[in-house]
Amino acid sequence: MQKYGLIGYPLKHSFSSGYFNEKFASEGIDAEYVNFEIPEIKDFMQVIEENPNLKGLNVTIPYKEKVISYLDELDKDTAAIGAVNVIKIIREKGKVKLVGYNSDIIGFTQSIEPLLQPHHTKALILGTGGASKATYHGLKKLGIESTFVSRTARFGMYTYEELTKEIIEEYKVIVNCTPVGMYPKVDVCPDIPYEYLTSQHLLYDLLYNPNMTLFMKKGKSKGATTKNGLEMLLLQAFAAWEIWQK
């Protein structure tokens, strides 16, 4: 039986194991998907060594960047992003080759592209973690120039306090890549000046629980187009499966 899995810590609410095990059962695929909850990244190679039938892994926080030093190769987009969420395990003649990919960029671009209008030329990316890097490169592929918004002052980025009416008017796409507003803390949202949003804005939230975050509700009340991250999650899972199979 083939084995696939997820590494991260903690893994109490993993979408992947439910999704893939259902897929294997419904399509008659002789495989299983297992969560490998590893407290430290140094435990990663132990997972590879102890599971000789392991064909592929997903990677979630906090290891999307830390796992790179253990890999033999990165695909081009992934190298530019600097964050991995899919690993293909190739076993040949007793040797193991680990190749890193990023399916977040695939899921995100496929999900947001149908919503884009000609006036969507600039984006604010809320957050600076691994998911925000994939978002940045995804938007770049779609011809959209992006600027990060960080809680702390950094060169070339805005802080939340610096966001003015003029900036919000200039950047018509706003993507939330932070966990702010995720269940159970559903009554909070990223600290941006929502009063300057218009019907020309597109607010995309990578979160999908709750279905409608406060960030999205506040955008909707100003006539903005909104979307959550559920479709992106599904699309990046499809992409992961394709990577493992090719």
Q: Which residues are catalytic?
A: 64
The count of other CB atoms within 10 Å of the CB of residue 3 is 16
The backbone torsions φ and ψ at residue 155, rounded to the nearest 5 degrees and listed phi first, read -60, 130
Tell me the C-alpha distance between 23 and 54, whole Å: 17
Mapped onto helix, strand or coil, the DSSP state of residue 124 is: strand
Would strands 73-74 and 31-37 be described as parallel, antiparallel, or unpaired?
Answer: unpaired
Q: What ranges in 55-182 are assigned the alpha helix state H? A: 76-81, 103-112, 130-141, 165-170
Query: Residues in the chain, how many?
Result: 246
Token pair belonging to 83: 């964050």
Q: How far is CA 16 from CA 6, 125, 237, in A?
A: 7, 25, 7
Scan for tokens 């009063």, then name that residue.
195
Mapped onto helix, strand or coil, the DSSP state of residue 149 is: strand
Please report, as a single letter, which amino acid is at residue 65. E
DSSP E strands in the chain: the ranges are 2-8, 31-37, 54-59, 73-74, 86-92, 95-101, 122-126, 145-150, 158-159, 173-176, 202-205, 225-227
